[in-house]
Amino acid sequence: MNSVEEPEPRTEPKPATGAGPTADISALPHMADVTAVFSSRSTFSSAYPASTLLDSAREINAAGLSLNMLCQNYPDHQLRRLLESGTRIRCLFLDPNGTAIRAREAEEGHVENTLTTLTALNISVLTRLRDRLDPTSSQRLELHVYDETIRFNILIVDRALCVVQPYLPQARGVDSPTLVIRDNTAAEGLFPVFDQVISEMWERSKPI
């Protein structure tokens, strides 16, 4: 009688290493220089008031839309004190006479000229301050405008602390999540990324 061979036991395929929900997330890359994340600008501002960020600054670089932190949330006399004591401040506004700000205004659903008027007002706040400074101090306050699709509001203080707020579709800037980044020379950090963004935007902008 011929013998019947027993079938080999079935072996279930093993999941690929590092794939799916069983992956070891501790082995995944992370941004070592992101120190805090907030769901909105308002929650960020409660934790990091403008005075906390700016009072001791020696260099401030800001790029965004209307730059309300500097122009609306920080007193003129404090800005003047900084500039007269040697602090360098560079501000990059979305051009109130450009097309990008009108596109953003429509995207956020504002009444026409809402953002253009606010930005022009904030620019006038700083130009008026600059005009009242002595010649040496006034050179430390540089104001530029750009006309590009707005993506981020970026504040860099003393080349060490970076605050980044992306602009979301159809949402006001105040509703944007906010990242706080401290430069620690991490190879996979975000600080150099946004430092380069603001530098390249500045090169493409025009002075006021």
Residue 151 belongs to some domain of the structure: yes
Residue 86 belongs to some domain of the structure: yes
Residue 188 belongs to some domain of the structure: yes
Q: Domain of residue 84: give its range.
A: 32-207
Q: How far is CA 4 from the centre of its chain?
A: 73
Distance CA(167)–CA(153), nearest Å, equals 8
How confident is the model at residue 16, as a pLDDT? 47
Residue 16 belongs to some domain of the structure: no
Residue 21 belongs to some domain of the structure: no
How confident is the model at residue 13, as a pLDDT? 47
Query: Whole-model pTM?
Result: 0.83
What is the pLDDT tens value at each position of the chain, 208 positions in all? 544 455 554 444 454 444 445 555 455 456 679 999 999 888 999 999 999 999 999 999 999 999 999 999 999 999 999 999 999 999 999 999 999 999 999 988 888 999 999 999 999 999 999 999 999 999 999 999 999 999 999 999 999 999 999 988 756 656 789 999 999 876 678 999 999 999 999 999 999 9
In the chain, the number of structural domains is 1
CATH number of the domain residue 71 falls in: 3.30.870.10
How confident is the model at residue 27, as a pLDDT? 53
Residue 93 belongs to some domain of the structure: yes
